[in-house]
Amino acid sequence: MTTNPSEVDGRYALRGIRVVDFTWIHAGPSATRILADQGAEVIKIESNFALAVAGGPAPQTPRGIGQRHNWNVGKLSLSLNMRTPQGIAIAKRLVAVSDVVAENFSGRVMPRWGMDYESLRRIKPDVIMLSMSGLGRTGPWSDFVSYGQTLQAWSGLSYLTGFPDTDPSGPASAYCDAVGGMSGAQAVLLALIHRARTGQGQWIDLSQFEALSALMETLFLDLSVNNRGGAVQRTGNRLPYGSGGPHGVYRCRGDEHWVAIAVFTDDEWSAFVQAIDSPSWAVNDCYATTQGRQRDADELDRLVESWTAEHTPEEVMHRLQEAGVAAGVVQSGIDLQNDPQLRERGFFRQVPDDQGVLRTIENAPYKLSRTPGGAVRGAPTFGAHQDYVLRDILGMSDDDLTECAIEGVFD
């Protein structure tokens, strides 16, 4: 712990934990943001050499502004040129007074700086190091670098995403990065619990590839139960293993307005038919059973959409839900910001950045009754906390700082 226990703010479960954060892009910063939300002092090590990448130092770049302010909320920023010996030396001094070091580089970067786990243990014996590489630090692909879209393809997610008559598409966003971030934060918490019990730190070798592959239950179940690894096919919005119909996303009145409907049982089908006022096509005997609806799924989808297209998605959702049928609006980003459930629970909130500009961020998706946590400030501007980190934490003098500035340590 880096803070006297008597000074710990009871609202934050991780107050007193300090994290040296070398992560960038999405997966790593989202992991350390979870820690920052619970009060950990996360010091983001930044460099001008990474300005143009989403989540990188420059908050006003076209690709950086939204992501940076969301993934780096509540963190501190230290500009440090790790291409200089002095920059590396300062980073190591910071490790000596910290609890966690997080990085998501390839396996070559930290050892090149002399900051692999074994080296960090000599600096801080109980340090916890989180290494979030794309494929893990062992195995034939351990030296590969990766991004979300490639890992989504490698994990099998893209194979499952799309329609039967189209090529694999994959999700539009880097779903893999979010999964890796949550896995990284979870692993750090487990290591902190272990250290609190034993006094021992440890190295966390996290594979983002494995984190996402673990969610591909359909592929693995088919392999383990049926001994067939490629039989699962893309089914669009339908379930790959049957069990109902209609089951999909249907166009509604308006431009790009959709609703999701899921009917599993014959009783739910009867409720659905009544809810849509029993049109002639819906009372056809061929749709009376689950097997019949699955057999004629394409035609059924067309007929269901002929009804949904006459109504707004909200109208469809409410009417079907009142009848006991599962249905939900396909929401856009604007819809989510105005969603009454998310608004009531305070999922979106505004926090000020370093210039006092209010930035909308996402809250944690859980609420702890004793340690609710939550960010109180937005993401930092590049190098905003140089004085605090270098002077207050490390005790560097004016002469030290001047010499480092001349040598380009803070570029």
> CA-CA distance, 208 to 132, in Å (whole number)?
7
**From 21, 177, 301, 353, the catalytic residue:** 177
CA distances 324 to 61, 305, 312, Å, are: 47, 19, 19
Neighbour count for residue 45 (Cβ, 10 Å): 23
> CA-CA distance, 267 to 288, in Å (whole number)?
10
Nearest Cα to Cα of residue 201 among 77, 377, 17 = 17
Instruction: Compute the 3-state secondary structure of the chain and give helix, strand, coil in percent, each to the nearest 5.
Output: 40, 15, 45
Based on the number of CB atoms within 10 Å of its own CB, is 38 exposed (0-12), middle (13-18) or buried (19 or more)? buried
- Residue pair 356/50 in contact by the 8 Å Cβ criterion: no
- Residue pair 61/349 in contact by the 8 Å Cβ criterion: no
- Residue pair 41/146 in contact by the 8 Å Cβ criterion: no
Tokens of 151: 């890992």
Helix (H) / strand (E) containing 78: strand 76-79
- Residue pair 258/275 in contact by the 8 Å Cβ criterion: no
| 21 tagged catalytic | no
Nearest Cα to Cα of residue 110 among 133, 141, 80 = 133
- The residues carrying an active-site annotation are 177
